[in-house]
Structure 1
Amino acid sequence: MLHTHETEQEAEAQLGPARRPRSRRRRFLRALAATAAALSLAAVVLTGLAAWHNTYDLREEHVVIHTGGRALNAVLALPHRGRGPFGVVVFVHGDGPIDATHDTFYRPMWEAFAQAGYASLSWNKPGVGGSAGNWLDQSMADRAAETADAIAWARTRPDLDGHRIGLWGASQAGWVLPKVAATTPGIRFVIAVSPAINWLRQGRYNTLAELTDRGAPPAERDAALARREAGLAVLRRGGTYADYRAAVPSDRAMTADRWHFISRNWTSDATSDLRAVGARGVPTLLVLAGHDRNVDVAETETVYRRELPPRSLQVEHYAQADHGLADLDVIRSETRAFLTAVFAPRSLFTPGYLDSLRTFTRRFNP
Structure 2
Amino acid sequence: MRLGRFRWFVAACLTLLTLLLGAQEAPGPSLEVGEPHTGLLGPGEAHRFAAVLEKGEYVKVVALQKGVDLVLSAFDPDGARIAEVDSPNGAFGPEPWEGEIPKSGRYVFQVSSPGPNLKPGAYEIRLTLRLSADQYASHKILSLEPGVLERFRGNFEVGPGRVIFVGPMAGIFTAGGKDILYFRDSQTRRTGPLYPVSATRFFSGPDLGEPYPPEDEFAFTLSAEGVPDSLVWTPRGGSPVKARKVDPFRYEPVAFESGGATLKGYVLVPEGRGPFPAVLHVNGSQGSRADVGPAGNFFVRQGFLFMAFDKRGAGQSTGRWQEASLEDLAGDVLRGLEVLKSRPDVNPRRMGLWGASQGGWVAAIAASRSPDVSFLVVQSGSGVSVVENMAHESRSQMAGAGLSGADLEEGSALVGRLLGMMADGKPHEEIAAVGAAAEGKPYAPFAAFGKLPRDHYLWKWVRLCGHTDSADALRKVRCPVLWFLGDRDSQVPAAVSEKRILDALAAAGNPDYTVKVLSPANHGLLECSTGLWSEVRTCKRYVPGYWETMADWLKGHTGGPR
Classify the TM-score, shorter chain: 0.7 to 0.9
State the AA in 2 paired with 1:288.
L
Specify the alignment match of 2:553 in structure 1: 360
Query: Aligned partners of 1:143, 1:91: CA distance in 2, in Å?
Result: 12
> In the alignment, what sits opposite 1:295?
492
- Confirm or deny: 8 A CA contact 2:368 2:476 kept in the other structure: yes
Distance 1:38 1:92, change over 3 A: closer
Counterpart in the other structure of 1:268: 468
Amino acid of the structure 2 residue aligned with 1:354: W
- Cα distance 1:108–1:327, how it changes in 2: closer, same or farther (>3 A)? farther
Structure 2 stretches lacking a partner, 5+ long: 1-132, 141-196, 204-216, 221-230, 234-242, 437-443
| CA deviation string 1:245-297 (max 9, x = no partner) | 565469723461022111101111222321111xx3x1110111121111111
Aligned-pair CA distance for 1:243: 5.1
Structure 2 match to 1:202: 389
SS of the residue corresponding to residue 321 of structure 1 reads: coil
Q: CA deviation at 1:133?
A: 0.6
Letter in 2 for 1:125: K
- Cα distance between partner residues in 2 of 1:64 and 1:353: 31
Q: Could you tell me how far apart the structure 1 residues matched to 2:516 and 2:219 are?
A: 31
Quick one: which of 344, 349, 354 aligns to 1:168? 354
8 Å contact kept, 2:279–2:306:
yes
Residue matched to 1:61: 252
Asked whether the equivalents of residues 87 and 160 of structure 1 are also in contact (C-alpha less than 8 Å), the reply is: yes
Amino acid at match of 2:280: V
Q: Which moved more, 1:168-177 or 1:239-248?
A: 239-248
| Correspondence for 1:153 | 339
**1:118-147, Cα deviation, whole Å (9 max, x unpaired):** 122111121112211111111111011111
What's the TM-score once normalised by structure 1's chain length? Answer: 0.75
More off after superposition, 151-160 vs 243-252: 243-252
Hey, what's the Cα distance between the residues in 1 that align with 2:363 and 2:135? 54
* 1:323 equivalent in structure 2: 523
- Correspondence 1:74 to 2:265: yes
The alpha carbon displacement at 1:240 in A equals 4.2
**Larger RCO (CA under 8 A, 6+ residues apart):** 1
| Counterparts of 2:266 and 2:288, CA distance in 1 | 10
Distance 1:245 1:132, change over 3 A: farther
Q: Which has the larger radius of gyration?
A: 1
Match for residue 93 of structure 1 among 283, 286, 289 = 283
* Aligned-pair CA distance for 1:171: 1.9
User: What amino acid does structure 1 have at the position aligned with 2:389?
Assistant: Q
Q: Secondary structure at the match of 1:176?
A: helix
Greater share of residues in strand: 2
RMSD: 3.3
Instruction: Using the aligned pairs only, state the percent identity.
Output: 23
* Post-superposition offset of 1:192: 1.6
SS at match of 1:351: coil
Equivalent position of 2:401 in the other structure: 214
Q: Is the 8 A contact 1:288 1:297 kept in 2?
A: yes
Going from structure 1 to structure 2, the CA distance change for 1:59 and 1:358 (only over 3 Å counts) comes to: farther
Partner Cα separation in structure 2 for residue 110 and residue 210 of structure 1: 31
Assess, with a 3 A threshold, how the Cα gap between structure 1 residues 49 and 149 changes in structure 2: closer, same or farther. same
1:233 to 421, 424, 446: 421
Q: Conserved in 2, the CA contact under 8 Å of 1:181 and 1:190?
A: yes
**Higher share in helix:** 1
Partner in structure 2 of residue 312 of structure 1: 512
Structure 1 pair 187–221 and aligned structure 2 pair: CA distance change class (3 A) = same
Number of equivalent positions = 314
In structure 1, distance between residues paired with 2:136 and 2:388: 56
Partners in 1 of 2:493 and 2:139 — Cα distance? Answer: 49
TM-score normalized by structure 2? 0.50
Structure 2 counterpart of 1:161, one-letter code: N
Decide which of 362, 367, 381 is 1:181's aligned counterpart: 367
Measured against aligned partners, the alpha-carbon deviations of 1:215-250 in whole angstroms (never above 9, x if no partner) come to 2144365245324423533543x3344654565469
Which string of whole-angstrom CA distances, capped at 9 and with x for unpartnered residues, describes residues 145-190 of structure 1? 1111010011111122211101111222232222211221232110
Retained in 1: the 8 A contact 2:391–2:412? no
Residues in 2 aligned to 1:226 and 1:126: alpha-carbon distance in whole angstroms: 32
Structure 2 Cα separation of the partners of residues 61 and 283 of structure 1: 29
Q: Any unmatched runs of 5+ in structure 1?
A: 1-34, 341-347
- Report how far residue 73 of structure 1 moved: 1.2
- Between 1:45-54 and 1:217-226, the stretch displaced more is 45-54
